[in-house]
Amino acid sequence: MKKRKYKVQGTILVSLMVLVVLTMIFSISTMAAEKYSEAPELKLMVEAGTLPKVEDRLPENPLVVQPIESIGKYGGTWHRGFTGIKDYHAFGRHVYEPMLRWPQDPRDPVQPGLAKEWEWSDGGKTLTLHLREGLRWSDGYPFTTKDISFWWYDIELNTNITPAPHAEWVIDGEPMELEVVDDYTIKLKFAKPNGLAETVGLAFHGNQWPLGFERFGFFAPRHYLEQYHPMYNNAVDYSVFEEKAFDYNTERPVMTAWKISEWGPGATRLVAKRNPYYWKVDPAGNQLPYIDELVLTLFEETEALNLRAIEGGFDFQFRRISLSNYPAFQINKDSYGYRIFLWPDAVASKLCYYFNQSIEDDGLRNIFQNPKFRQAMSVAIDREQINEVSYLGLGVPRAFTVVPDSPYFEPDIEQFYAQYDPALANQLLDEIGLKKGSDGFRTRPDGSRLEITVEGMDWDKATLDEMELVVAAWNDVGVRASMKTMSREIYWIRATSNEIQVATWTESRAIDPMVDPIWVFPFDERSWMAPAYGTWYKSEGKLGKEPPAYFKEMMALYDQYKVTVDPDKQKEIAKKLIRTHAENVFVIGTVGMTPNVVVVNNDFRNVPETFTTDWIYMAPGTLEPCHFYFDR
């Protein structure tokens, strides 16, 4: 369904472009000068002589955004809420401009972004990028390949800023080599074919460095940052550089639709204003964005943010809106004039459970490493009940694996050990020698007491309800379990340092987990099914603990994935990894694809009624927030 819509849109696009070209051929250059139009406020500035003409601000071939609903109108302030400086994504995902763009439909290939074309040569060892000619930073300075080489040599390879370059740029232990051909052409050369460059390197990590606290990127404004870089200016140190390069710096030039103009210590709102040099247009030649400015109000508490949203205080937002409030939104939407959409979130499971297979305790580790134990724990859970209690019946009871929108999805894996069958659970537990005592609780095979602690963060009420239900279900099949929750700071440290027996998390990455495969196999310390093995893999065997053979096989498969450029072959490997993961129940899922509650003002247009959100895809960044508009 979705695909066909794009094709129709594609046909419209082609015919429109033909029309534009024909008009251009038959009219003379005077017509071409009026090809583009701009926001009224910018027009005034052009007339006053404080800003160059729109034709001079746009690149030679600006990116044309196909509207989701219709061509828009200029003007308006987009009100949103966020929870503070750590909540950078509340802003950042709406101004996400990488080198190559993720497609709107995740099954499509990666799309052109700042780079208009790219090609592989040398059997996958060389990637040539062609930038759009005439791109400009928000201060009007040209955007060129120098901004990429500055990032690579002075940020990514500078150990004062980046301890080690990101994995997608280090193939076989060799960092990539850059060859700047001209201002708009650059070649990336790798020691071996690089299967991660397009998706991870240029789409996911291809943004302006550092994207809030994520500290990844692919370019940075050389002309502005050079003066604050200790390599070029002895008078400053790296803390100055970090401050100037940081996203919250209001002076820093950007390539995004809006640029932060108001933010600082003690501020209670973040204001971002239109970038007059933005490089996208609509099919009618109107320079984007339509909306004048974004205003994000600071809320200390998610509850307060939700209350504001219920009162219609936001024009379009789903971040930090809790599903439990859905009834309240439905009751109030008409009186406050907004619409409510339910967008599925690409979460394999809203809350998932990792039995730590690299835990120090030998007895527990042996139990947790037994697939039958994890299968038993999985079928002991009544997922329908959890869906009703915590997610208003809106989620999908399922195993922990990729969602149907993923290119690696196969229908059967979703239901592996996802049925509710306590009898089977008891039988499996009996089989592996965990005998039930007179008190109804099981002991370890050596007869000693079996007790597990499930740890989690201070989640919202619905998630804590689910956690309590799962812990109760495990007690019901005789595995003595208790739960503990704590603040995120304490929890994260305990989990990544291999101290938690059963960790929990709300894990996204269920469309393309290969981009950051932390839940597929022990990839790094964030892989809580075995953080110590993950550390071992990340450090190439220097740190952590050596994993058992079944994990090593998966690691070898991923190593192979990394050096495969052919998309079909990559897909084969990924599917194999995903299937192995599901069969072994490395992570236990309960209810997934729980929807986001999306609050959309009645006047706010170009927002689709359904859309699968995922953090890897920076949702809603792929919807082109620059073409949202107010129909007033």
Partner 1 sequence: MIDYKRRSEHIKKLYEQQNALDESIAHQMMSSEKIAFATSQWRMMWRKFIRNRIAVIGGIVILLFYLTALLANFVAPYTLKQRMTAYSLLSPQRIYFFAEGRFQPFVYGLKGSRDPKTLMRIYVPDPEKRIPIRFFIQGEPYKLMGLFPASTRLFGVEEGIVSLLGTDGQGRDMFSRIIIGSQISLTIGLVGVALSLIIGAFLGVSSGYFGGWVDNLIQRVIEIVRSFPPIPLWMALTAAIPPHWPPLRVYFTITIILSLIGWTWLARQLRGKVLALREEDFIMAARLAGASDGWIIFRHLIPATLSHIIVISTLAMPAMILAESALSFLGLGLRPPLTSWGVLLKQAQNIQVLLLYPWLMIPGFFVAISILAFNFLGDGLRDAADPYTV
* Residue of the chain from 24, 44, 490, 556 that contacts partner 1 (CB under 8 A): 490
The residues in 192-251 that bind partner 1, with binding defined as CB under 8 A, are: none
* Stretch near partner 1 under the rule CB under 8 A, chosen from 99-107, 372-380, 385-393, 399-407: 385-393
Q: What is the CA radius of gyration of the chain?
A: 26
**Could you say whether residue 602 binds partner 1 (CB under 8 A)?**
no
Element (H, E) at 159: none
Residue nearer to partner 1 on the CB measure, 17 or 472: 472
Distance between CA atoms of residues 445 and 369, nearest Å: 14
* Stretch near partner 1 under the rule CB under 8 A, chosen from 7-15, 77-85, 305-313, 604-612: 305-313
* Residue of the chain from 123, 173, 265, 327 that contacts partner 1 (CB under 8 A): 327
**Could you say whether residue 482 binds partner 1 (CB under 8 A)?**
yes
Residue type, 335: S
The least CB distance from residue 330 to partner 1, in Å, is 4
**Could you say whether residue 598 binds partner 1 (CB under 8 A)?**
no
DSSP class per residue in 530-564: SHHHHHHHHTTTSSS-PPPHHHHHHHHHHHHHHT-
The least CB distance from residue 472 to partner 1, in Å, is 7
**Are residues 456 and 491 in contact, defined by beta-carbon separation less than 8 angstroms?**
yes
Dihedral sign for Cα atoms in the order 235, 252, 96, 11: negative
Residue nearer to partner 1 on the CB measure, 491 or 521: 491
The least CB distance from residue 224 to partner 1, in Å, is 42
**Could you say whether residue 389 binds partner 1 (CB under 8 A)?**
yes
**Could you say whether residue 86 binds partner 1 (CB under 8 A)?**
no
The residues in 449-478 that bind partner 1, with binding defined as CB under 8 A, are: 453, 458, 460-462, 464-465, 468-469, 472
The least CB distance from residue 508 to partner 1, in Å, is 23
For 154, 325, 420, 474, the CA distances from 462, given in Å and listed in that order, are: 46, 10, 21, 19
Residue nearer to partner 1 on the CB measure, 138 or 463: 463
Interface characters, 133-162, with partner 1 (x: CB under 8 A):
------------------------------
* Residue of the chain from 83, 250, 366, 485 that contacts partner 1 (CB under 8 A): 485
Residue nearer to partner 1 on the CB measure, 172 or 360: 360
The least CB distance from residue 459 to partner 1, in Å, is 12
DSSP class per residue in 97-152: --SEEPPSSTTSPPEESSEEEEEEETTTTEEEEEEPTT-B-TTSPBP-THHHHHHI
Distance between CA atoms of residues 197 and 205, nearest Å: 9
**Could you say whether residue 394 binds partner 1 (CB under 8 A)?**
yes
* Residue of the chain from 194, 317, 390, 527 that contacts partner 1 (CB under 8 A): 390
Distance between CA atoms of residues 449 and 462, nearest Å: 31
Q: Helix or strand or coil: residue 171?
A: strand
The least CB distance from residue 518 to partner 1, in Å, is 24
**Are residues 238 and 201 in contact, defined by beta-carbon separation less than 8 angstroms?**
no
- Give the residue from 539, 537, 534 showing the smallest Cα distance to 587: 534
For 91, 141, 247, 261, 426, the CA distances from 255, given in Å and listed in that order, are: 14, 11, 12, 14, 58
**Could you say whether residue 167 binds partner 1 (CB under 8 A)?**
no
DSSP class per residue in 384-446: HHHHHHHHTT-SEE--SS--TTSTT--GGGGGTT-S--HHHHHHHHHHTT--B-TTS-BB-TT
Residues that bind partner 1 (CB under 8 A): 303, 306-307, 310, 322, 324-328, 330-331, 385, 388-390, 392-394, 453, 458, 460-462, 464-465, 468-469, 472, 482-486, 490
